[in-house]
Structure 1
């Protein structure tokens, strides 16, 4: 279960703090209420839509609907998340857009399978700034989460992919926060924004403390060097980041977290396969070291994302 209540409170604050031009896409009554959400959907409403589409919606998206049945503006690029009654397959929602993309913009697809998946994605938002949020049932994980796409005609590749709707929404919140900082700096060019940089030593301290705690006692004494090496490498990269621009610093940290999560993909399976085939102690230690690297990647990425979320 994800903490949608806290997340939506944070998203609401970020969007409501955006500049006046962004506010024109928010209905006046929502601005007066200072709330961009809707009443929660019921299980009956969700089940009816699932039956009509012959699907079971992914867990994190269902959780969102049970917290708020749709949402108004979520970022500079998306003006509306649909209520569950309004979601539909993209092939029905935007047939002309599919035709334009598959016939005219095919070079922006990463693969033939991605192009084939496009008509079969589920549109859960309207078109904003030539961008839309899609859920792809053709790529699912063991928990039933669908791959989530931020799809835009100005993006290359066109589909920015996330492992779940929850992960995509985290990214949209960071984009909105970045936009707010840029707007502030444009309106106040003589007021340098170094607030994030001032908190950076706190993040570094948290990461350094990770080396003192053994995340998995089963591997004690065998591979702590592997774990510590990853922490040291990440800390060195963070220390080298320019700190005079909070927007760029936030972007760099977010990219670093995404990179670490990408590295973790497959690392654990690889290491476990390696362990199963090993009999020599020195090879066993190497496999355990790979598992520790996987744990380090995931834990550090989590620390960075939490730091950004709280800053």
Structure 2
């Protein structure tokens, strides 16, 4: 196709190739009707060219000049047979027409329009009245050229629709583009018929070469070029293309309707691909019927693996494993990830990616990693792209994958509350010189805290409810145990983090810092937005060798403090809301201001305070793992003292209301 004053199209060679391939693919056991017999003899799906007078008569009848691609098409053939699999006859100059009144199809579309329908939706509904109808014989497929949807080349868009496809009308930018799609549909249907074994021609041979080159491009790291080439081959129904392409799109995050091209049913690839396909989150989006369809034809070997995997998923014991050096890196990354070190885990995997080996010639990436409960959450779209851009397998060059860090440094990210439904409060301990697994022994609940297997905080809270699945949740001002996630908080530090604490009780709060400080320093931080009209709050307490060294609590304009607070952590320097900004160093608890003003959101100076704490102790919290990963959890001792004489306490239960 070349561009001059008017777009010109090479219709003759394109239509001749299509006609010849159609004739060659005709089933010799099927008796052709009269029309098809002529096509087979002449190897031509078209008719004689339309005359200039015939084209002029059509344009006069509709009152418009035809778009270039359809006009030039008519100059080659006055109509067409078998445009794809469902349009058996396309109109030439005599059959094409514009309806002179509202059609049944227009009424159908208008009937289903919402009151707030957009102009584009209204235009789509009315095309069946104003458009140039081209379908003469079809399987309930309507085809219309739209004279009000015109591009800069004078081309009219083509819209097609059929009720049995249960989808909105499909739009093509021009008649040329529509016919190209119909040609691809013909190929796709023929390739899928009896496995397409007899459907071989110059087009299919060229596409199969393209698929193989795309496979090598994918392993070289040129995944964008590979995906584009495979997408074209998929549109033609070429074997292998879908299975190869869907591995790429899976790693890029497109998993909702992705079946990995059925490759998970192959015993060679099932150990890697089947876990990804069986992941409960993906399977739930299909339903069992679709799942069974995508795994049709699986062998007994694959069925046995499926049973084992299903049991592992249900018990929460599944872990992605693979042989060789890459398998060692996977194990190391899982160990890092279970303690919250998401960026370090990704770096471990990235460094080992060049040593990953495919299970067979159609295996492009370690797709099964996405099903691993610990490592699966690592795969953001950016990391998926980085993995696919790394040369691997037979095309490996030894160049490691790109580093894609997702975690911000430090603690200041905790002050970021971008919208409704986000974190309104948090509290955490930072413990020096102690491994995360040792934290329950320091601050665990009195009845014996244990470190639970890695899971999300939401799952951990659900599992910890004494009433199981009833949905009831109980909170008490008497007993404020915290369900915390644990992990590493930087060199030499561990953390215990609660992202949903109950309200801070100033009168009865007892910092766990001193109890946890048996081996080194302990830092306790509590931040709270203004949730109940009492003002936003920020607390810091620091202990060492079993004794609290200093602490402060800021709420609104008030500040209570004790001990000798380092200058860099002085609340009078960090929080602009404090009225009396003079530092106090007498070691006693003093008030720096009055009742204070209230504000929505966090306390002004919260991010500054968090930054100062991170700098003072060299600590960080892993935002990505806390928000998306699975970490070990345990229940701490209470953060409030028991009520004293004459004090009351409240127990609140939240959950479904029963009659």
Q: What range describes the TM-score normalised by the shorter chain of this pair?
A: 0.5 to 0.7
Is residue 10 from structure 1 mapped to residue 17 from structure 2 by the alignment?
A: yes
Q: 1:87 to 1:251 in 2, by over 3 A?
A: farther
Q: 1:252 to 1:117 in 2, by over 3 A?
A: farther
Higher helix share: 1
Is residue 59 from structure 1 mapped to residue 68 from structure 2 by the alignment?
A: yes
Is residue 129 from structure 1 mapped to residue 133 from structure 2 by the alignment?
A: no
Which residue is 2:211 aligned to? 200
Which residue is 1:70 aligned to? 79
Determine the C-alpha separation between the residues in 1 that align with 2:193 and 2:108. Answer: 33
CA contact (8 A) 2:86 2:139 kept: yes
Which residue is 1:40 aligned to? 49
Gaps of 5+ in 1: 189-193, 208-230, 257-311
CA contact (8 A) 1:98 1:118 kept: yes
Pairing partner for 2:238 from 236, 246, 257: 246
Is residue 98 from structure 1 mapped to residue 106 from structure 2 by the alignment?
A: yes
Q: Deviations over 1:32-62 (max 9, x none)?
A: 3332211111222111110121011000000
Determine the C-alpha separation between the residues in 1 that align with 2:197 and 2:226. Answer: 34
CA contact (8 A) 2:87 2:137 kept: yes
Determine the C-alpha separation between the residues in 1 that align with 2:242 and 2:11. Answer: 22
Q: 1:199 to 1:159 in 2, by over 3 A?
A: same
CA contact (8 A) 2:141 2:161 kept: yes
CA contact (8 A) 1:15 1:74 kept: no
Which residue is 1:306 aligned to? none
Determine the C-alpha separation between the residues in 2 that align with 1:101 and 1:70. Answer: 28
Q: Deviations over 1:60-89 (max 9, x none)?
A: 000100011111222211000112121101
Determine the C-alpha separation between the residues in 1 that align with 2:223 and 2:122. Answer: 36
Which residue is 2:156 aligned to? 146
Pairwise mapping of residues 160-175 of structure 1 onto structure 2 (< 5 A)? 160-175=170-185
Which residue is 1:84 aligned to? 93
TM-score, scaled relative to structure 1? 0.60
Which residue is 2:408 aligned to? none
Determine the C-alpha separation between the residues in 2 that align with 1:64 and 1:187. Answer: 32
Determine the C-alpha separation between the residues in 1 that align with 2:96 and 2:243. Answer: 31
Determine the C-alpha separation between the residues in 2 that align with 1:154 and 1:69. Answer: 29
Question: Secondary structure of the equivalent of 1:85?
Answer: coil
Gaps of 5+ in 2: 1-7, 199-203, 249-659
Q: Deviations over 1:96-149 (max 9, x none)?
A: 34334433x558x97222112331111112241111221011110111100011
Q: Deviations over 1:138-185 (max 9, x none)?
A: 110111100011222223433110110000100000000011111141
Determine the C-alpha separation between the residues in 1 that align with 2:241 and 2:212. Answer: 13
Determine the C-alpha separation between the residues in 2 that align with 1:201 and 1:247. Answer: 11
CA contact (8 A) 2:86 2:138 kept: yes
The alignment covers a number of residue pairs equal to 224
Q: 1:163 to 1:21 in 2, by over 3 A?
A: farther
Question: Secondary structure of the equivalent of 1:111?
Answer: helix
Q: 1:35 to 1:138 in 2, by over 3 A?
A: same
TM-score, scaled relative to structure 2? 0.30
Q: 1:137 to 1:202 in 2, by over 3 A?
A: same
Q: 1:127 to 1:146 in 2, by over 3 A?
A: same
Greater shift after overlay, 31-40 or 1-10? 31-40
Cα distance, 1:23 vs structure 2 = 5.1
Cα distance, 1:18 vs structure 2 = 4.1
Determine the C-alpha separation between the residues in 2 that align with 1:45 and 1:240. Answer: 42
Q: Deviations over 1:198-230 (max 9, x none)?
A: 4424457899xxxxxxxxxxxxxxxxxxxxxxx
Question: Secondary structure of the equivalent of 1:135?
Answer: strand
CA contact (8 A) 1:150 1:168 kept: no
Question: Secondary structure of the equivalent of 1:68?
Answer: coil
Is residue 185 from structure 1 mapped to residue 195 from structure 2 by the alignment?
A: yes
Higher strand share: 2
Which residue is 2:548 aligned to? none
CA contact (8 A) 1:22 1:76 kept: no
Which residue is 1:234 aligned to? 224
Determine the C-alpha separation between the residues in 2 that align with 1:22 and 1:99. Answer: 40
Cα distance, 1:238 vs structure 2 = 6.0
In terms of Rg, which structure is larger?
2
